[in-house]
Structure 1
Amino acid sequence: MRDSWRRSITRELTRLRHDGPAALLWSLRITVAAVASYVVATLFFPGTQPLLAPLTAMLVVQVTPVSLLASGVDRVVAVVAGVSLAVTFAAVVPLEWWSLGLLILVAITIGQVLRLRSNLIEVAISGMLVLGVGSLGAESAAWQRLAETLVGAAVGIAANLLFPPKVASADAGRAIDGLADSVSELLTRAADELTELVAEGGEVAPAARTWLGEARRITHDIPRVGAALLHAEQGRRFNVRAVGTPNVGPGLRQGLEALEHSAVAIRGMFRALMDATHDATWLDDESAEDVLLGIAQTFRELAAGVDTFGQLVRDEADPATHMSPTDVQALREAREGLHEARARLDDLLMAGTAPELVELHAAVLSTVKRLLQEMDLDERMRRQVRLLRPARARPPAAEEPTPDAETQLLPRIPGERRDRPRP
């Protein structure tokens, strides 16, 4: 329990160190835009409290540059539609429960027709606020609300153009690496628990069902990572801070898709393990212990490959990152481990055994092949080297080989076993 708390505190402190400055700058951007829009609106409407202007600025300034204009235009259109509808209602009907309900129904319908997306409800809100002042003051309230909205949208757009948000590629890389860590941790835990069950003579099927449930949860979390990547991709467009920086979006997209396919394959592997160990007769054989221990070893090799792949994707999000000798060694070991697992499972399938074991070995072998094909650690490493070369202003002055130079030579290490061709 104490170790769990220590890991949680360390993880939160690391997250605060990485994300704290960016979060503070984001808060300052929104605060400055809101205050500036309020000051500008008071110049147009002295003696009032134009809170709609800072509200609009806060909603506009937090979007990405590519959706900035669309968000501002949608909000202005929503306000114009709402106040126009309210002025019409105020001139015809009094404010009663039935007129309020009719106004909301018509306003939401108009918003859907205009396809105002997240600003759809603003049509009804604007109409309700203007209708509440009565027929005598509806027209003046409508013009003031419209003007405050225009001021807030203009200030929000100006703030995003003058102080553009950061390119969130690094955040997307961390999110993808976090997904890889979840898969890797599940495989490592499954390997450790399977080894303990073999030593203690416990049942494997219930544990496999638990691992399968955890794998399902991880795959259900993939859309959240995809949203972070989409935000990073949109954040580059029309963003002056992205000028001169390499576009790592396609590589990150390929990395997320590879992890998604790998996670689905791993989920199927756990399902095959659960089916193969449920009321199975082969578990009584003397060779069952060796089979399960071999599967546990394969889990560890898969975990090392997924963890290394996630780190490579995260490094690719920041092309200035230099791979350390430890990272290079981890890449070597992960690559060799996956190929050893494939060779071992190929031999087991050729040897022939009980039908349940044949299906289980085939499922595990299919997962290993899927990870080898999807992640392609060598190509991912070469992609990072290609991105890194333009980023370096000059070669390193030290005579000692850099981690990048060692990485470049990784596929041609003397005496290293060549990878087997893919089927």
Structure 2
Amino acid sequence: MPDSQPQPPSSSSPSGPAAMPPLLLCGARLTDGRTVDVRLSGGRIEAVGTAGSLTADGTRTGGTRVDLTGHLLLPAPAEPHAHPVTALSADTQGPVSYAPDAVQRRVTEAVLLQLGHGATAVRAHVRVGDVAGLGALTAVLEAARSLRGLAELTTVAMPRVLTGVAGAEARAVLRDAVKMGATVVGGCPDLDPDPTGYVEAVLEVAAEHGCPVDLHTDAADPARLARLAAMVGGLRPGVTLSPCAGLARVPADQAARTAERLAAAGVTVVCLPQGGCGTSDAGHRGSVPAGLLRAAGVRLAAGSGALRDVSNPVGRGDPLEAAYLLASGHGLSPGDAYAAVSSSARAALGLPEVRVEAGFPAELLAVRGDSLPGALSLAYSRVVVHRGRVVARTSAVREYRGSATAPEWGLPRQGRGGTT
């Protein structure tokens, strides 16, 4: 399955979507069954019309065309829960290196892999203080600059402890991280000797700087999760909790009551259907009961979590795999499952809504297939659009060989094979 990954643009590349010529996506299928042309300009969707009704340039010149015949066109996914600092390190002998060049290399490769899957926006959870200091964050911010124009990479600053003697220094580091460019504050209160004090410290820094909050918790303690939801409920900007997989290990009635409290608090829960999380010491796999949360009215998004690190050495970082697992194993409809990795994930990151309609941001994913269920089960060939231009392509060709009807390898013919 060939996969050609884009390279970060040089500093001399034109900046801003306005510099790009108009782009026409031709013959794409939408989830409502229509086949359309979609014209993109200035980083937004300029027009959507019946297939064959639009030109590439509109009233201008220099437009280009991309043939999407046989592809389903969707709002692009976003990745709300990535750990690119430790990504691609599963085979590392000894401790993972936090040297800035090593971190920047891993982060860049991880984001490009996820971009190839369709995620045009990634939220990176970055450890600050203790072992990593601020060096890892510096490397991630540098990677974000080098990836500008290909994908949007934002960061969550995550200290390990925030209470006690060590916590005083960590709180200063957290404030420095925000000043450096981290746009979200968070961490894993389960790892602090005083989880409540940890959350209070995070909320204090968030209030000082007007930052969103993203907290990790996996504890199988509904009371603790309910207290956490009560503490952060109503905070603006919003609060994200993840992965909350501990709810799967408690009796159903307790999980249901906790889900109701999460819904009342207005928090977003980011589940990880693939399992694995780069910040938890618990060693637990599995995922939150997504169907139960949705039934309770919880805002539910999904991420792909660890990408081939010690937490999940075979993690793919593929949002469509997360959607597939939600649909196949958690009872969500294909539409709701895809929304968890696209519209809900974008909302969790504070990004504008995307629809395949005029006026919306040109953040799009074309997947070979004619329906969403088919796309989720066989999502091999993909075309990714970020800020109105194609930034990644993945193509796959499937061939069949039979001794009687197809004695030679060659181009697939109808009934014998095809591109998927």
TM range (shorter): under 0.3
Greater share of helix: 1
Highest CA radius of gyration, 1 or 2? 1
Superposition TM-score, scaled by structure 1 size = 0.21
Bigger relative contact order, structure 1 or 2 (CA pairs below 8 A, ≥6 apart): 2
Superposition TM-score, scaled by structure 2 size = 0.21
